[in-house]
Structure 1
Amino acid sequence: MADGKTKRAEHRAARVKLSDVAAASGVHYSTVSRVLRPGAKGRISDDVAERVRSVAKELGYHPNSIAASLRTQSTRSIGLIVHDMNDPVYPPILSGIEDALSPQGFAVLVSNTGYDLNVELDIVNRMAARLVDGIFLATTRLQDPVVERCQELGIPLVSVLRQTEQETSPAVVNDCYGGMRVMTEHVLASGFRDIAVILAPQYLSTARERWHGIKDTLDQAGVALPDHRIVAVPRMSVKEGKRATETLLTAGESRPDVIICVNDLVAIGAIRACREVGLSIPSDVSITGYNDIPLLDMINPALTTVRMQLHEIGKAAGQVMLAQFEGQPVTPMTQRVGCALLVRGSLGQKSESQPT
């Protein structure tokens, strides 16, 4: 039995070539090329074109994408770089990107960085070596050498979800500031004043905007947020959310009435931490999230959160990328997609009779 390498070589040798289609169609090689290669020039009768396409389909001809890439310096492939593919926010973004790009013949290659800047830079270099036509960056920092590297290489770039501080690349993001303001206003309207917050790393625009949305709303309402009621997590995960909540529950003389979490995974970790010490959600502690990842309405109690339009963000990012390919100016540099508050069972009502 042939090994894998031999089988691949045999498969390449058995591929149907343009010359095979030409011979079977009874036309010149150049005619077949003009019929089957997108963008090729030249007038060909409908009858001949239909005969060539029919023969090509019958023989099982597929274009040699490697050869085409060498000719055009385009692979019809786009990179998508994410922190952690286990994070449920990314699949709907990818789906939106594909909805925009697949009809144009592009394929999306996804790479996972694990929050490691050096890994991100290496991925960009490897994608550039493979002649990707552009990169979607879902890991963008406020100050980001990865963005700078893409610009040095001349690779079209669209930041997704996050943006640099100076808005140095086109980006499609969520209105994180507005979304968290609406959430915090609802928490206050529910009667809560002893509030704790779990934040994300402040080198991300999403984290900074959500923090400012919380703080500005509390400041305007005259509600204090002591330092011991604020914990930052190094990454957005259930594990880190649980760890941060354990810190909040043991800091100070009393536990908070509500914990506003920077995202849903962190909020799920917060719920787990509370339950492990016998606290009930929301009668003992209320908890909120952000993102509206799938199945949040299936947990008990269902999580109060902010719904981001993740698929729409991905689709809009794809359209911005296509505009760059066509040489169109990208304005505004940053597009903001709206969001909506979803009130569910994890956020209760604070009454005057409740103990603090």
Structure 2
Amino acid sequence: MKNITIKDIALKAGVAPSTVSAVLNGKTRESRISEQLASRVRGIAADMGYQPNQTAVALRTGKTRVLGLIVEDISNVFFASLAKIIEEEADSIGYKVLYCSTENNEEKARERIRMLSQRQVDGFLITPTPGMRAEIDRLASQHKPLVLMDRYFPGLSVPHVVVDNYDGTQMAMQHLLEKRYRRIAFVTILLDQVQMHQRRQAYEDSLRVAGIPVEENLVLQLPYHCKPEESVQQIREFISENQGLDAIFFATNYVGVYGLEAIKDLGLSIPGQLAVICFDDHDIFRLYSPAITIVKQPVALIAQTAMQLLIRQFEKGAGTPRSSGSFQVLQPAQLVIRAST
């Protein structure tokens, strides 16, 4: 099937190819083309099935109108929701999104950035792994449009949008303490990531303010790459070894799912024998009986704010140095109280 060209459209419309080019590139006003003629040209182009040569457009404009999105795990509910909203926001302004996962693998993360750079994406939206600091710093030094989400690197002047992890955890802990739970365990992931450090810090600070000693044996750190069945076993053993627990705070949603399986295996009732709370929501938490209390992240707000920050960089132009000052946008978390506490 023959590719439809601007010349084909011009011939059918009875106008010059330059007129068609101006219409299809949104330059009708500068070229003094009437809206009536522009509408007719666009209609003919659509009827003929015209598809612009994206390579040619990129060479001419220096823009691919493609964004690169890198997340930790696209199968995770939080990151999947984030990607969906970003894709919708990008569509609304005529951009497409290439997205991929790192699975917190540093080599894979570096390869993803190289791949997207080779595709000449116009901007990056990234939830970085600890090992990506050098690559993020390099993109920033090249003044590439760039926004980090969910986490960031202290000391790097890169725009980032994150939930207030400390305040969200503190709200959850305050809720547990007000319900008179005292022996509260904390199950997290062994990762050198700022958001996980902030959640643990808030857990410990909340206990200290309440006059409750912080017991190291009540904190379980699971290896990130641990198989699900191994994580369930470790949580099961952790609960069995710490008799008399009142409640467990799971630091992220997939760990909370593992925790529910472990609690079920042990035959413990929620919240009668053990209260449960989790940072991040999950469909399972709403459907579980009893439903699980969670700290909810404003996913839509994070995605929309990240896109706004990226668009501002487009408006300033790639290669423009970023102004000094704070680049952090903190979004509030919400405590959603359900039957598990």
Structure 1 alignment gaps of length 5 or more = 1-10, 348-356
Aligned equivalent of 2:19, options 24, 31, 35: 31
Give how far 1:145 is off: 2.3
Q: CA deviation at 1:118?
A: 0.8
Task: For 1:146 and 1:284, locate their aligned partners in 2 and report how far apart those are by CA, in whole Å.
Answer: 47
Secondary structure (helix, strand or coil) at the match of 1:197 reads strand
CA distances 1:159-186 after superposition (whole Å, capped 9, x unpaired): 0111111242100100110000010111
Question: What TM-score results when the alignment is normalised by the length of structure 1?
Answer: 0.87
1:84 maps to which residue?
A: 73
C-alpha deviation, 1:275, in angstroms: 1.3
Q: Which residue of 2 aligns with 1:159?
A: 148
1:4 paired residue number: none
Per the alignment, residue 141 of structure 1 pairs with 130
Counterpart Cα distance in 1 of 2:123 and 2:297: 25
How big is each residue's C-alpha offset from its partner over 1:34-87, in whole Å with a ceiling of 9 and x where there is no partner?
Answer: 111135742223343233222212211122212101212211111111111111
Aligned length: 334
Question: What does residue 329 of structure 2 align with?
Answer: 335
Find the counterpart in structure 2 of residue 128 from structure 1: 117
Deviates further, 164-173 or 138-147: 138-147
Identity %: 27
> Could you say what secondary structure the match of 1:305 adopts?
strand
Query: How far 1:257 moved relative to its partner?
Result: 1.8
Which residues of 2 match residues 167-246 of structure 1 at below 5 A?
A: 167-235=156-224, 239=229, 241-246=231-236
Q: Distance in 1 between matches of 2:229 and 2:73?
A: 14
Shift of 1:16: 0.6
Residue type at the aligned position of 1:346: S
CA contact (8 A) 2:109 2:129 kept: no
Aligned to 1:8: none
Residue 250 (str. 1) matches residue 253 (str. 2): no
The worse-fitting range, judged by mean Cα deviation, of 337-346 and 95-104 is 95-104
Q: Is the 8 A contact 1:249 1:255 kept in 2?
A: no
CA RMSD of aligned residues (A): 2.2
Match of 2:101 in 1: 112
| Deviations 1:14-50 (CA, angstroms, capped at 9, x unpaired) | 2210010011111111111111113574222334323
Deviation string, structure 1 residues 65-122 (Cα, Å, up to 9, x no partner): 1210121221111111111111100122123323432221111111011211111111
What secondary structure sits across from 2:182 in the alignment? Answer: coil
> Quick check: 1:142–1:165 contact (8 Å CA) kept in 2?
no
The residue aligned with 2:5 is 17
State the distance in 2 between where 1:264 and 1:226 align: 23
8 Å CA contact 1:142, 1:164 repeated in 2: no
Once the two structures are TM-superposed, the CA of residue 144 in structure 1 deviates from its matched residue by 1.8
| 2:311 pairs with one of 291, 301, 322 | 322
Q: Take 1:187 and 1:313, find their aligned partners in 2: how far apart are those partners?
A: 27
What is the TM-score normalised by the length of structure 2?
0.91
Query: Partners in 2 of 1:34 and 1:143 — Cα distance?
Result: 42
2:100 match: secondary structure: strand
1:143 and 1:165 in contact (8 A); partners too: no
Alpha-carbon distance in structure 2 between the residues aligned to 1:118 and 1:245: 29
Q: Which runs of 5+ in 2 are unaligned?
A: none
